Structure 1
Amino acid sequence: MVMQHLLPNQMELFLQYGLAIFWTVTYILIIIQGFKDRSCGMPIPAICANITWEFLFAFVMPFHPLQMIVSLVWLLLDCVILFQAVYFAKPEYPPRLLLPAIFSLLVIALLLHVGMIVEFHDQEGKYTAFGINLMMSLLFIKLPFKQGLQGQTIYIAYYKMIGTLCASVLCYSLYPDSILLLLLAVLTTAADIVYIVIVHRALHMTKGSNVQLAPTLRA
């Protein structure tokens, strides 16, 4: 696929910094809220997919100095989120079951990343990145029904969507002929909007009420 540049270089650089900043803030907010609520604000499959992608493009096949640094920062933050997932899940899932499951997910995610990179000749990891993003957005929609708003805030939802929009516009500027990337970007944005609506609705339902969120949403 031939790389194009529909937008000026300065605008593309602005979008690169935008996606890096907003996604970094998203991770930090997830960590802060996770420790506050003693919960994990990101689904484990998404964490494993993120960590393996970030490991690949921080250490194995970095394609740009800025991306390498950002990937390393994200990797460290995701490791903290993974720690939260393991630590706060102990009462519900024994470590002897949870740890092998996480290890299996990490291996599977890594193999899928490598397979897609080779199959699509994707040295920038764009297909896997947008695939992860769509999976994460869909899994985030399920979170309020599973654990209420534990580990989540409306700010996380908005920052995540803005970071994804920056990445989507940048990707379209570079690869306007890719129907697959366009579909992944549009579907991810739609899922992010649904998640924001769900979180807003959940906050409205719980305002002034002591009823637990998850049972209310299931009704």
Structure 2
Amino acid sequence: MDSWLNLTDYTPTELTLFITGCFLWVIAYAIIIKNIIRHKVVEMPFLAGCGNFGWEFVWSFVFQTNMGLVCVYAYRAWFFLDIYIFYNLLKYGSKQVSSPEMKKYFKPMCIFLTLAWGIATYCMQRSGYEHVIGAISAYTVNVFISGCYITLILRVKSLVGFSLSVAWLKMIGTGLNTIFMFIHYPNDPYLHFMGVLVFIFDIIYIYLFVQKRKELA
């Protein structure tokens, strides 16, 4: 692929929605990294972080979206930013669990889950269950991301290292991508359901975040 944008298979509106959504996620990653550096806390739930990192590797280097080089590099930007996030997830992520046994095996567990999700993502595409942009596996892991954010916010005793901006960015970013999915894949009810489910989870998370901030204040 040598064109920056695939205007043959996608309309300018579709590409604008998708690329804007991707860019908002890049900003969210940057804020997460800033908070890691400042507070030594990784706000991304470890299950979500493992699945996310595995998916990003596969769709950055094993398979390639046909949407154009802008989207190819957006996927890779996620991956390279996520290297730092995943490294610190291994370093600080055990703060998210309370079980001594889970803390003991936290790092190998995260590595195993990342490899498992990466292999599952690869197999999904090779089996023909996937779209050319990786949407099915992406939204499946996104449901886990948004769901795990809810369970994490209910467990934490402090919001230090957590950002409401990240919550809004990931909700709006994924929301724009979901609108794209409805337009470009009108006959994929699974993808539509996953997109709506993620949006509902993200709204719940923002509500819980605001409520917890009021309680802690």
TM-score range, shorter chain: 0.7 to 0.9
Distance in 2 between residues matched to 1:54 and 1:122, nearest whole Å = 15
Is the 1:116–1:122 contact (alpha carbons within 8 Å) kept by the matching residues of 2?
no
Where structure 1 has 5 or more consecutive residues not aligned to the other structure, the ranges are 208-219
SS in 2 for 1:111: helix
Does the aligned pair in 1 maintain the 2:46–2:93 contact within 8 Å?
no
Aligned position for 1:187: 197
Q: Does 1:78 align with 2:87?
A: no
Q: Secondary structure of 2:36's match? A: helix
Spell out, residue by residue over 1:138-186, the C-alpha distance to the aligned partner (whole angstroms, 9 max, x if none). Answer: 0001122222323211111101100011110011110011111110011
1:96 CA displacement: 6.4
Once structures 1 and 2 are overlaid, which stretch shifts more, 66-75 or 81-90?
81-90
Task: Report if aligned partners of 2:164, 2:209 keep a CA contact under 8 Å in 1.
Answer: yes
- Counterpart pick for 1:130 among 118, 139, 142: 139
Q: Does 1:139 align with 2:148?
A: yes
Equivalent in 54, 61, 64 of residue 62 of structure 1: 64
Number of the residue aligned with 2:124? 116
Structure 1 Cα separation of the partners of residues 57 and 117 of structure 2:
11
- Evaluate the alpha carbon distance shift between residue 107 and residue 170 of structure 1 in structure 2; reply closer, same or farther with a 3 A threshold: same
Q: Does 1:164 align with 2:174?
A: yes
Say if 2:110 is the partner of 1:106: no
Structure 1 residue 56, shift from structure 2 partner: 1.3
- The answer to whether the Cα contact below 8 Å between 2:59 and 2:65 also exists between their aligned partners in 1 is yes
Cα–Cα, structure 1 residues 121 and 134, in superposed 2: closer, same or farther, change >3 Å?
A: closer
* TM-superposed deviation, 1:36: 2.1
- Separation in 2, partners of 1:46, 1:190: 17
Give the Cα–Cα distance (whole angstroms) in 1 for the partners of residues 210 and 56 of structure 2. Answer: 31
Q: What's 1:24 paired with?
A: 26
Deviations 1:97-124 (A, max 9, x none): 2221122111210121122222414332
Give the total of aligned pairs: 201
Distance, in Å, in 2 between the alignment partners of 1:14 and 1:123 is: 18
TM-score, length-normalised on structure 2? 0.85
Q: Give the letter for the 2:123 counterpart.
A: G
Structure 1 residues 17 and 145: CA distance shift in structure 2, 3 A? same
- Two-structure CA RMSD over aligned residues (Å): 2.1
Unaligned runs of 5+ in 2: 1-6
SS at match of 1:120: coil
1:27-56 CA-to-partner distances (Å, cap 9, x unmatched) read: 111111222221111011211211121111
Aligned pair in 2 of structure 1 residues 13, 89: CA closer, same or farther (>3 Å)? closer
